[in-house]
Amino acid sequence: MIELNPFVIFFAAIFTNNMIFSNFLGMCSFIAVSREIPTSLGLGQAVTFVLACTTIINYLIYHYVLLPLHLEYLRFIVFIISIAAFVQLLEMIVERYLPNLYYALGIFLPLITVNCAILGVSLFMIIRNYNLLQSIGFSIGSGIGWTLAIVALAGIRQKMKKASVPKGLEGPGITLIITGLMALAFIGFSGIVQIQ
């Protein structure tokens, strides 16, 4: 098996293996928060930061605590606890130093804890046997790809406010259609590189 360069994994995580468009992970906050670009960008940055930090934390916990003690079967619980603790810490910091972003994100900042994209990256890192550098590249690339997707959707949704949309498609209906079309567009990148 050829070991992939961390930069290849980074770019693949943004374009060809985007968490939203190829794995459909993190859809709840993706659809709910993508109404305005500044809020979407703020959440995307928070998700990217949480992804990068929790992936490193979970990598170290898995390889230096769970594996030596033969407790790999606890990885789901341990990963969720470490993600929840980190997000709680981040929430307190954002509330203290960035109150405008905190109030704009509202309930969705604590919901980063249950964003399945965060847990998915930590699990993919284990399943794909990534080393630490590959895991960092994958997590940051996944976060940037998620941010790119949510900001693009927010821009389209802002333009759609001025468009005439049939009554039955307003809201989540047109949002899911747009997301599907964006996923089809990202399939065009799939010939570049695939990570499995």
Which tens digit of pLDDT belongs to each residue from 88-143? 888 888 889 988 878 877 677 777 777 788 999 999 999 999 999 999 999 999 99
Structural domains of the chain, count = 1
Q: Quick check: is 196 in a domain? A: no
Lowest mean pLDDT among 9-18, 19-28, 52-61, 66-75: 19-28
Q: Quick check: is 194 in a domain? A: no
How high is the mean pLDDT of the chain? 87
Handedness of CA 182, 187, 189, 194 (dihedral sign): positive
Q: Quick check: is 153 in a domain? A: yes
Q: Quick check: is 58 in a domain? A: yes
In the DSSP assignment, the letter for residue 32 is: H
Q: Check residue 196 and give its pLDDT.
A: 66
Q: How far apart are CA 15 and CA 190, in angstroms?
A: 8
Q: Quick check: is 175 in a domain? A: yes
Predicted TM-score of the model (pTM):
0.87
Domain that holds residue 182: 6-188
Q: Quick check: is 1 in a domain? A: no
Q: Quick check: is 115 in a domain? A: yes
Q: What is the largest CA-CA distance in the chain?
A: 60
Q: Quick check: is 47 in a domain? A: yes
Percentage of the chain with pLDDT > 70? 96
The three-state secondary structure class of 98 is coil
